[in-house]
Chains A and B, each alone.
Chain A
């Protein structure tokens, strides 16, 4: 039983890491209907910039601040330079644009910082802690705590500030928002900046876990099943989706893996996502239109 709990909780905590990438997607999708494939490259770019600055002698917090600034500039440039010119275009056009952007960002990152693998040390020891007989990774606990703080900050932003309320209005009905004088472009700029910040946090945690390398941008593919399960337009959905993916892939790996072979962990989330697509296409928390009868 303890072993089961250990696998379950370990999976849940790992799932939080997926959620963090998924949240970046949700923010942009909600506010502008863009499925931002470049989210993964933004995560990579953030981690790579941060680690390269550290290696060049920056202190932790100044590297963090400089990376944050560069993420904001990057996000702003994508919104300003590409997406703003594609307003009103069909979703597939926007998607292709972000696909293009993601390769440009990766190329840019390689140009700036080179292609070698870096280790990233955040100063959090990854040693097992024991809670009532259950062993948990302290790094996973730290990541989960960071994600919780991030989500709390975001929900305060959305519920307590004018910019957050405007953002929800734009997500609900952009034309109506425009009609009462909200500047859509300012809102999109803010959303991209926040998504840039989220990818910085995700990039540091993922970078510390896997090492900073180009395959880091593939976390975008792990975020997909999370989004399909949780729904594309709900931050709560991104959290729950992440937890489900994290827990189920670990449980499947441990309990079903021995029966059908290794590597189940890598494709099991997609099976789950497909099942969701068939049964509940809007995801668990997909925003359904309010319909009065």
Chain B
């Protein structure tokens, strides 16, 4: 997977409310057709980075004050989210954010509107999502607010995919879900990547699963990228294993950190 990059982020700095630093000097590359992971503990700037790319940062009173973002060769730093979605870049928000009072199918339909599809294209698009997520077909008339967390994550991903994006920014798809559902969702991500060539940039605290399903990974620490490399290499590195995968390789200190990290996740 070493094609030309579909996404190139160079040294971006993001501030919230004109003062709070959310990211300070993040650079990363997503190759066309690649799955890239963005790892890091709470508050290290993963979400900030994704929102800076998708343009949603503006809605959070945030601003990219420095750096460059190129999507499919175009400078997209000043682009509105709607323009990016039309161009094939879409974000799935952390915490799923389904439309709770719309049913499953209505959620999917709304996801397609930015592309102004014809009636038949829209119907076809919905069928395609149901093929990837058969469970959503069964729940098509249920209000999204009443679905299980896993089903909501499927709605959120399906809603983003119905417009046939080229790049999906996926923020913490594993959050609050049982391991079995997490695996199911990552399997679908892999299928979409292989069968349709969709590229993914996924932010995850669950490094174990993210490293298993990605080609390349970046590790963030306090607003910047601390290290990066092929996912298989990172998964084998002692420091990553001890800190992010919770395996005690090098003594008590990192064990404590890992334990701390885990209890923090458990509390969420």
Contacts and interface: CB of A to CB of B under 8 A. Distances in A.
Contacts of A171: 101
Contacts of B61: 88
A175 B93 contact: yes
B91 interface: yes
A171 B59 CA distance: 15
Contact of B90 (A166, A175, A181): A181
B102 interface: yes
Contacts of B106: 165, 168-169
Given A175-B56, A292-B146, A180 B102 contact: no
A178 interface: yes
The secondary-structure label for the interface of chain B is helix
A290 B56 contact: no
Contacts of B82: 178, 181-183
A269 B100 CA distance: 33
Contacts, number: 89
A181 B113 contact: yes
Nearest to B110: A169
Interface size range of chain B in the complex: 35 or more
Contact of B81 (A88, A168, A173, A181): A181
Contacts of B86: 181
Interface string A153-170: 000000000100110110
Contacts of B148: 292
Interface size range of chain A in the complex: 20 to 34
Contacts of B81: 178-179, 181
A262 interface: no
A183 B163 CA distance: 15
Interface string B104-117: 00110111011100
Interface in B69-84: 80-82, 84
A127 interface: no
Interface of A: 88, 162, 165-166, 168-169, 171-183, 287, 289-290, 292
14 contacts: A88-B61, A162-B109, A165-B109, A169-B102, A175-B59, A175-B97, A178-B56, A178-B81, A181-B81, A181-B84, A181-B85, A181-B90, A181-B113, A290-B146
